[in-house]
Structure 1
Amino acid sequence: MRPDKRGVLELFERPQRYVIPLYQRRYVWTKEKQWEPLWNDIRRRAEAEVENRGHVKPHFLGAVVLANIRTYGRQLQAYDVIDGQQRLTTFQLFLAAFRDIAGELEIHTLERELGRVTRNDGALNDELEQYKVWPTRFDQPGFQRVLDRTGADPIEQDVTAAHEAFRFVANTTAAYAYFCQELRTWLTQSPDPRLQGEALFTALRRYLQVVTIELEDDDDPQVIFETLNARGEPLQPADLVRNHIFSDAAQRDEKVDALFEHYWAQFDADGSLWRTDEARGRVMRPQLAWFLMAFLTVKLEEDISDGVIFDAFKRWWGSRGPEATAEAGLKELLRYARAYQNLLESKPETRLGVFFRRLKVMDISTLTPLLLYLLTDAGLSGASLNVVLDDLEAYVVRRFGLGLGSKNYNLLFVRLLREVRDLPSGADVRQFMLNFLSRGKGDSVRWPTDEEWRSGLLTTPIYKKVRPRGVSMLLEAIDLHRTTGKQEALLIAAPLSVEHVLPQKWITHWPAPVASGEILDAAAWRNTLLHTLGNLTLTTQKLNTALSNGAYENKRVALAGESRLRLNTLFQTQMKWDETVIQRRSEELADDLLLIWHGPEGQVAPQGVNTALEISTDAYTTIEALREDLKLNTMPSFAVGGSAAGGDVQLFNNDWGSRGARYHAEVVEDDTELQRIRVSLRDTFTEQSPQKPWVKLAMARMAFPVQQTFGLERTEVNPSELTVWLPGDSDVTTVRRALSRLIALTLPAMEHAAAQSKQRRPGGQALDDLINVLSPCLPEPYYFMVADIGMDRNWRRLAHAEWPNTLHYELQIDSGSCTLILDDELQIGPLKTQVGQHWGELTAAAQAAFPTLSLTGGTRGRSNHRVTLNFPEASTDQELCEQVTAFIKATAPILETAFNSVSP
């Protein structure tokens, strides 16, 4: 093996090809798991280049294993990619996106440079040699479209439309669209996009590195692949750090055993704090790893990510100088570790404990390095530290409550840390930090003013904006603020539950709202206020469960009698609960929060502060509206139902022999009342039912297409259920679209499964046998309707899963002759009108496809239409399959045009 270290651009600068073998898996990287972390790594190195030009530490992005492909004549040098195909493909997609955004922003020098690393040019032996990476067959169409893109190709719009319509989109094009959006935003937010782009190009050339391993002739690629992907437990960063420290101590002849026992043993102790796993976002790591990241961020004054802990540690360890002992390094490490432990174990009644608890609620860990410095080396007394914590908390809570995001906090707080450490002795640390945070501009860093903070609290559906844990934090702060010396101070040790006074299921349990004044839609107005601050309070989980969706008079008595919170004393005297009360209480609570978390110095509110209530939809209302919509506009073969408790819709196909398989759309709440909408297909047939083996097989076959279409992050599949998860605030159109798409994907397989278990009748047996032969050759998503199977008739209907089945094809067999029919039995309405307007075109298209056969077309009784194609002689099964497919191919595009003209 010949290992080598290369920058990302260096991988592609030479005229050569990386070929993904057919046996490798398709491109499966996704936004959450790979694209976003990769972009964050790339972006950080580029931003470091802007700030510290030429003094940026490299970042390792993984390894690629290559095997040389023997080439001849003028063929380009080529390699089989043994390992790392996902990484190489992503690099090319990223570079193509960078190329095209550079062109869009008229940074043409960069566009040309990036063109050279995304395409082989010159005299090529074969057209495909222009692609520096050549993926597996499944990924080739999307990859080619991206690499060949011209300005007129709407890839990003197509990806967005596909996601919104819940249709399959190739991962290659989805990745390209994601990188385009991120690059465009990042570059245009810079005062100088050209300079920003050049820094990114430099980072890709110098600071973002890959190890390439080229196999030699006597290396076995399969053995290498299996070794690289073996199941052995990899060394963790903390293991590497420990080994480095004590290897250095041994070389210096220090007492290794004594040093280990005195300084390090606690880090390795089973059951210790340092071995405890903690999740931050989607990443789970031991506390020791999180501590090392924070410690090294302080020491190196740069954002240290999970993947570079060991490299960063070696840099810090070496920067101490050749005379620095291992014991001195361990002492410093342990000093910071004690501060970190004090932070994690800070008592909830202390100022530090309250702040740290609130940071965990907001999932903000990027402040930890700055807090470590403030607790160790900033020289702040207890009172001075508390004032600084007040400022930091006010800054992050106001931004959190308004949904301004924490994406750039890592860089912001590292920069603040660096500037605070550079302050001269005796400087006012608190005043400097306050000035620093107050002068931030733009949504990524600004500190919301009083005007914006109060307006946002009054107009935002806060329950959805900050989720239950965030609401609980705000309301707990209000309760603490309202507690005076005349009340007992309550320590809220266990998490409380957020209670909607007006319940989320008001539509079935509370009186309907009454419109007043200029309010045109009383229900929509109520739903808009439902999740605002004034309708929310805190209870124990047990009391919350008892209150449930009950009437207000019962809730009021329980809240007034059981709750000890100052927040709930209102319910001792508030005898009714309506929209006016909710608005008034929102104003009162907003006034409290205005005092609890102060605003920036020299407050200047941004232009256009919103004062209108954000329109909010409620999941239960959405499901009820979906139920009514489906009753009016469902497919003819489905019946609409639901459970007695409400909050769900069920679709049954009565032709399947039982309700053991059905489609669902329902509201699901977790323990914190956070809502999601679950759209699913469920198999509840018993193991003894005749349908079970066929439906079980169909569910297994459909799992991958469902995941492929909706995306892994939105799906959950198991042998008896295929589920698509939607946000709780999805509107009716979105839920209906998801349900329709799930039906379209699965209905043909379910109809086929039901047909296999259906009892046959002798009179139709021969035709049913023919249908079994023809079904596998049908184009997706066509299917023979199970309602016709086993019937003593000479025809079978052929339907499309996304059309009403009153518009269908028919196959008739009579005395050896065969007839194909396109039959319109649609009800009077816009769709029928559109189809009728295209009927002459349909007849002409069918005749053109079968110029030698007898064909008739036109209107029959009750304004229905038919196109009938006769085959005078019996066809073989293969010929008949080809004829059915050709008939569909000739007519279906015209029908799709009719459908699209009436679709919302």
Structure 2
Amino acid sequence: MRPEKRGVLELFERSQRYVIPLYQRRYVWTQEKQWEPLWNDIRLRAEAETDHRQRVKPHFLGAVVLAKLRTFGRELEAFDVIDGQQRLTTFQLFLAAFRDVARELDLHVLDQPLRRVTVNDGLLSQDLERFKVWPTRFDQPGFHRVLDRVTGDPIEEEVQEARRAFRFTPNTMAAYAYFIQTLRSWLSQDSDPARRAEALFNALRRHLQVVTIELEEDDDPQVIFETLNARGEPLQPADLVRNHVFSDAARRRESVHTLFDQYWAPFDEDGSLWQTNESRGRLIRPQLAWFLTAFLTVKLEEDITDNVIFDAFKRWWSSRGPDASTESGLKELLRYAQAYQQLLESPPSSRLGVLHRRLKVMDISTLTPLLLFLLTDTGLAAPQLDLLLDDLESFVIRRFALGLGSKNYNLLFVRLLRELRQLPEESDLRDYVMNFLSRGVGDSVRWPGDSEWRDALLTAPLYKKVRPRGVAMLLEAIDLHLTTGKQESLLIAGPLSVEHVLPQRWTQWPDPVAPDGIPDARAWRNTLLHTIGNLTLTTQKLNTSLSNAPYEKKRGELAQQSRLRLNTLFQTQMQWDEQVIQQRSLDLADILIQIWHGPAGLAQPVESAPAVVDVPDTLTAVAELQESLVRRPIPDFWVEAGSAGDGLLLFSNHWGTRSVRYHIELVEDDAQVEWLKVSLRDTFSDGAPQKPHVQAALARLALSFQQTFGHDRTQVTPTELSVWLPDTADATTLRRALERLVILTRPALEQAAAQTRNREERDLDRMINHINPSLPDSLYFMVADIGTEKKWRRLTDAEWPSQVHYELELRGSDILLHLHDELPEGTQKSLLGSAWDDMVLAAQADQPGADLTAGVRPSGIRWLTLSPSADVTGELQSLSELNNRLQQLMTTTRSKITSALATESGS
């Protein structure tokens, strides 16, 4: 390798080309992560150049790894970009923006220099050689348009409009739009834009540097690429796989362009199935990544997880043998990809389509590798395959409805796949699968029998256990089963709403009358409320209109409006009570047993004793959390009940306002499903000075917030970050979610608050930021002291009453340290008083030469004040002295205070 240090402009001053291989990933840098930091690095050096500083420290912008390409005749010298393509592309987009702004401002002196670094001049063998950087095929149109921009081309307007409409725009154009707007604003801020522009040009030439590493013949580009891939924007597994495949093809002298166009290009097309994101649990990945996971699980017969896709792919690729061609590997990949696409896009009425839809409802993806194997490698005819899919679906749905869990499915189905692959060709696959699944013992793998299945359907609160989507899946299956040749076959195309016939809020209905042996009629009703016998399907609009209406109204509407076979019952059922619910549960359970059969050869089915399930009361959980927060508060926050009585509010005293708050409340979504929402809200009015700072903080927090809690259960708006939890969550879960939200968001809010503070408050912040890292865990500054014109901050221990605290005060240019006892008269004050004089003497002895005074005010407040002689205008040395004095004061007094206050609780 031949490394060389170059300025940014030096990279492009010669007539040569940097060619990004077509199989490299596309341009993915973004404003927040890369464009803004890059611009700040450039701007600081340009401003230093403008100020004519004698020495401007050069700044290193990263490395670029190149491999020289063979050229012929009049072709320009060219290099393959092994690593650094994002950086090189960005430099060219920045220089194009600089060129165009300079033209706008009539800075003609820069016309030729900027043209020289954005266009190759002279005798060219082909037109595209004029581009100094040539990106991948998907980035070429936008890049071409930017580098060749003509006057009047509305690139900026198109980018802005696309963002407003949430429409795709090429990232190359978005980067150009950002840089041209930023440069236009920065250059126009100077009364002499030409001076600034020249300084910027000189900074790019002299002070902003890149290391280029040119590979020699013996260097392996692929090894170097994989070593360096984590720099910049991390590569996705599919990027690494693509690079590995086509680097291998290039080494074999195979036609890279032909292979890419014929086999891989569809995977990278915008808007294709493969680029569509899908969430599984908390992970959101393109379908291509999920497909590769399933494909490699089949090929290697082991559970492949998201973080090992690339290593697993290399193992499979090399296992094909040294003579296997790239094309044969890509053909095999494409064969499985077609089966994967068949699974995802099968007609909703087909057997495979129904199974896929139901697996999505249950959030089960671990069956996908086994399904791929059945679709590609078994040669099963459609009728045989459908029967086998029936068996698999029956297994997972019975377990799903009983809440038996799916966490071991990955290992179970990989083992089944491995055993099926080893069977002789003449084996009956369906018979083997039935026996394999029926042998399971233990809750993680067993297949529930008919008796257990029926009992659970009769007594379990299904609506709470499997959530509304799961209930809707079961009820849709019943409706389909009830449809005979005498009725129209209706395909339920959109999601329907689950309706409680006896409403969840049934206080307007007649009180229940329990049969003999049931001591609590209300508990009995609440148990039956969420069983399948009390549930049906309606449209969302009909569900909303029915709400908590009496049965007479509900019956008439359901009989008249619904076209579902499931709801024909309401044409003749004249009353609705617990006995009717129980009978309907029994009827529907028998139908579900017919739809999803049990295990094979189970002579003695596992029995399950019916039980009354205690469904947690959501409001009780919120009340318990409030009580918990009163006993164990989150430092610096205070809590109160929500105004409607169904939630609680947590206020941050950092703001000295109620306009930013944490909130826990019970809400309903559009499908009338209840959730517990834990949120951070900005309720500042639009004219408040804090508003823009808080909005910017929430926008910055959005991505890390979604990554922390998972995209599937979060919601982000300009004024709110919220986490949606099941309404069965207990107080411990709520507290954990609230604390994580506070920990994640609090620093950004503090920073936003600081931007509206005066000089004295900022000085206090600076001191506290210096002291905070050295404080023990239980000590915290009371942020209730933050507010207009306040010049002090209290420091207390979580084990003490807040009336006992240290205090940091800014008085002119002096800093004072206090220890205050502001307790009301009582036992604690007396106990602390007995230790106070000894503490004062000990503090005076420990800090000789310090200005330390103490006394008692007429109000009964005891005080001790230490003047450390630290000037607030000083920097680290005086702040360190202040911190040392505080630590010494706490060492002398803190254990004595804790011991004195603990005496009362001990007695």
What is the identity, as a one-letter code, of the residue corresponding to 1:889? R
**Equivalent in the alignment of 1:440:** 440
Alignment of 1:657-672 (within 5 A): 659-672=658-671
1:391 Cα offset (Å): 1.2
**Equivalent in the alignment of 1:538:** 537
Are 2:564 and 1:565 aligned?
yes
Identity of aligned residues (%): 53
1:884 Cα offset (Å): 7.4
What is the identity, as a one-letter code, of the residue corresponding to 2:415? R
**Equivalent in the alignment of 1:243:** 246
What is the identity, as a one-letter code, of the residue corresponding to 2:895? A
**Equivalent in the alignment of 2:133:** none
Specify whether residues 715 and 657 from structure 1 end up closer, same or farther in structure 2 by C-alpha distance, changes over 3 A only: same
What is the identity, as a one-letter code, of the residue corresponding to 1:417? L
1:442 Cα offset (Å): 2.7
Specify whether residues 892 and 452 from structure 1 end up closer, same or farther in structure 2 by C-alpha distance, changes over 3 A only: farther
**Equivalent in the alignment of 2:231:** 229
1:870 Cα offset (Å): 5.9
The CA distance in 2 between the partners of 1:507 and 1:606, in whole Å, is 37
The CA distance in 2 between the partners of 1:696 and 1:260, in whole Å, is 45
Task: Tell me the SS of whatever aligns to 1:682.
Answer: strand
Alignment of 1:151-550 (within 5 A): 228-231=230-233, 236=239, 239-240=242-243, 243=246, 271-274=271-274, 276-305=276-305, 336-503=336-503, 506=505, 529-548=528-547
The CA distance in 1 between the partners of 2:704 and 2:373, in whole Å, is 51
Contact 2:799–2:898 (CA under 8 A) maintained in structure 1: no
The CA distance in 1 between the partners of 2:308 and 2:743, in whole Å, is 46
- Structure showing greater radius of gyration is 2
The CA distance in 1 between the partners of 2:821 and 2:793, in whole Å, is 10
Specify whether residues 701 and 822 from structure 1 end up closer, same or farther in structure 2 by C-alpha distance, changes over 3 A only: farther
1:438 Cα offset (Å): 0.9
The CA distance in 2 between the partners of 1:893 and 1:725, in whole Å, is 40
**Equivalent in the alignment of 1:890:** 895
**Equivalent in the alignment of 2:615:** 616
What is the identity, as a one-letter code, of the residue corresponding to 1:475? L
Specify whether residues 484 and 518 from structure 1 end up closer, same or farther in structure 2 by C-alpha distance, changes over 3 A only: same
The CA distance in 2 between the partners of 1:391 and 1:239, in whole Å, is 37
The CA distance in 1 between the partners of 2:840 and 2:258, in whole Å, is 93
The CA distance in 2 between the partners of 1:711 and 1:756, in whole Å, is 30
Contact 2:843–2:889 (CA under 8 A) maintained in structure 1: no
1:447 Cα offset (Å): 1.6
**Equivalent in the alignment of 2:728:** 729
Task: Tell me the SS of whatever aligns to 1:559.
Answer: helix
Task: Tell me the SS of whatever aligns to 1:601.
Answer: coil
Specify whether residues 391 and 742 from structure 1 end up closer, same or farther in structure 2 by C-alpha distance, changes over 3 A only: closer
Specify whether residues 510 and 258 from structure 1 end up closer, same or farther in structure 2 by C-alpha distance, changes over 3 A only: same
Consecutive unaligned residues in structure 2, runs of 5 or more: 3-224, 810-815, 846-851, 871-881
Specify whether residues 781 and 701 from structure 1 end up closer, same or farther in structure 2 by C-alpha distance, changes over 3 A only: farther
Specify whether residues 529 and 898 from structure 1 end up closer, same or farther in structure 2 by C-alpha distance, changes over 3 A only: farther
Contact 1:797–1:808 (CA under 8 A) maintained in structure 2: no
Specify whether residues 784 and 342 from structure 1 end up closer, same or farther in structure 2 by C-alpha distance, changes over 3 A only: closer
The CA distance in 1 between the partners of 2:247 and 2:704, in whole Å, is 48
The CA distance in 1 between the partners of 2:697 and 2:292, in whole Å, is 50
**CA deviations over 1:620-678 (Å, ceiling 9, x no partner):** 5644777899999999997846456x744346799988643444221244445554433
TM-score, normalization by structure 2: 0.56
Alignment of 1:494-893 (within 5 A): 494-503=494-503, 506=505, 529-548=528-547, 552-574=551-573, 582-603=581-602, 609=608, 611-619=610-618, 622-623=621-622, 640=640, 642=642, 647-650=646-649, 659-673=658-672, 675-686=674-685, 688-689=687-688, 726-732=725-731, 735=734, 780-783=779-782, 808-809=804-805, 821-825=820-824, 868=862, 885=890, 889-890=894-895, 893=898
What is the identity, as a one-letter code, of the residue corresponding to 1:236? D
Specify whether residues 898 and 426 from structure 1 end up closer, same or farther in structure 2 by C-alpha distance, changes over 3 A only: farther
The CA distance in 2 between the partners of 1:774 and 1:889, in whole Å, is 21
The CA distance in 1 between the partners of 2:648 and 2:342, in whole Å, is 51
What is the identity, as a one-letter code, of the residue corresponding to 2:463? Y
**CA deviations over 1:305-343 (Å, ceiling 9, x no partner):** 556666666666666678877776666655555444433
The CA distance in 1 between the partners of 2:473 and 2:272, in whole Å, is 29
**CA deviations over 1:768-791 (Å, ceiling 9, x no partner):** 999999977686434275599989
1:538 Cα offset (Å): 2.0
**CA deviations over 1:34-82 (Å, ceiling 9, x no partner):** xxxxxxxxxxxxxxxxxxxxxxxxxxxxxxxxxxxxxxxxxxxxxxxxx
**CA deviations over 1:132-172 (Å, ceiling 9, x no partner):** xxxxxxxxxxxxxxxxxxxxxxxxxxxxxxxxxxxxxxxxx
1:408 Cα offset (Å): 3.0
Task: Tell me the SS of whatever aligns to 1:679.
Answer: strand
What is the identity, as a one-letter code, of the residue corresponding to 1:229? R
1:585 Cα offset (Å): 4.0
Task: Tell me the SS of whatever aligns to 1:781.
Answer: strand
Specify whether residues 372 and 771 from structure 1 end up closer, same or farther in structure 2 by C-alpha distance, changes over 3 A only: closer
The CA distance in 2 between the partners of 1:751 and 1:287, in whole Å, is 39
The worse-fitting range, judged by mean Cα deviation, of 418-427 and 329-338 is 329-338
Specify whether residues 412 and 279 from structure 1 end up closer, same or farther in structure 2 by C-alpha distance, changes over 3 A only: same
1:434 Cα offset (Å): 1.0
Specify whether residues 486 and 279 from structure 1 end up closer, same or farther in structure 2 by C-alpha distance, changes over 3 A only: same
The CA distance in 1 between the partners of 2:360 and 2:898, in whole Å, is 54
Contact 1:404–1:444 (CA under 8 A) maintained in structure 2: yes
**CA deviations over 1:575-620 (Å, ceiling 9, x no partner):** 5556665555444433332232122123377988453233222435
Contact 2:451–2:607 (CA under 8 A) maintained in structure 1: no
Task: Tell me the SS of whatever aligns to 1:677.
Answer: strand
Specify whether residues 689 and 493 from structure 1 end up closer, same or farther in structure 2 by C-alpha distance, changes over 3 A only: closer
The CA distance in 1 between the partners of 2:597 and 2:230, in whole Å, is 54
What is the identity, as a one-letter code, of the residue corresponding to 1:431? D
Contact 1:683–1:720 (CA under 8 A) maintained in structure 2: yes
Specify whether residues 714 and 856 from structure 1 end up closer, same or farther in structure 2 by C-alpha distance, changes over 3 A only: farther
The CA RMSD measured in Å over matched residues stands at 6.3
The CA distance in 1 between the partners of 2:567 and 2:458, in whole Å, is 19
What is the identity, as a one-letter code, of the residue corresponding to 1:472? A
The CA distance in 1 between the partners of 2:673 and 2:274, in whole Å, is 32
The CA distance in 2 between the partners of 1:772 and 1:567, in whole Å, is 65
Contact 1:458–1:532 (CA under 8 A) maintained in structure 2: yes
Contact 2:698–2:719 (CA under 8 A) maintained in structure 1: yes
1:440 Cα offset (Å): 1.9
**CA deviations over 1:213-272 (Å, ceiling 9, x no partner):** xxxxxxxxxx99987413486663663576379669966xxx998887777666666655
1:364 Cα offset (Å): 2.6
What count of residue pairs does the alignment treat as equivalent? 662
**Equivalent in the alignment of 1:56:** none
The CA distance in 2 between the partners of 1:499 and 1:325, in whole Å, is 58
What is the identity, as a one-letter code, of the residue corresponding to 1:890? S
Specify whether residues 410 and 535 from structure 1 end up closer, same or farther in structure 2 by C-alpha distance, changes over 3 A only: same
TM-score, normalization by structure 1: 0.56
The CA distance in 2 between the partners of 1:712 and 1:801, in whole Å, is 37
Task: Tell me the SS of whatever aligns to 2:474.
Answer: helix
The CA distance in 2 between the partners of 1:601 and 1:262, in whole Å, is 46
1:418 Cα offset (Å): 2.9
Specify whether residues 348 and 617 from structure 1 end up closer, same or farther in structure 2 by C-alpha distance, changes over 3 A only: same
The CA distance in 2 between the partners of 1:522 and 1:842, in whole Å, is 60
1:435 Cα offset (Å): 0.9
1:439 Cα offset (Å): 1.0
**Equivalent in the alignment of 1:77:** none
Contact 1:752–1:786 (CA under 8 A) maintained in structure 2: no
**CA deviations over 1:714-762 (Å, ceiling 9, x no partner):** 9999996576665432234654687699889999999999999999xxx
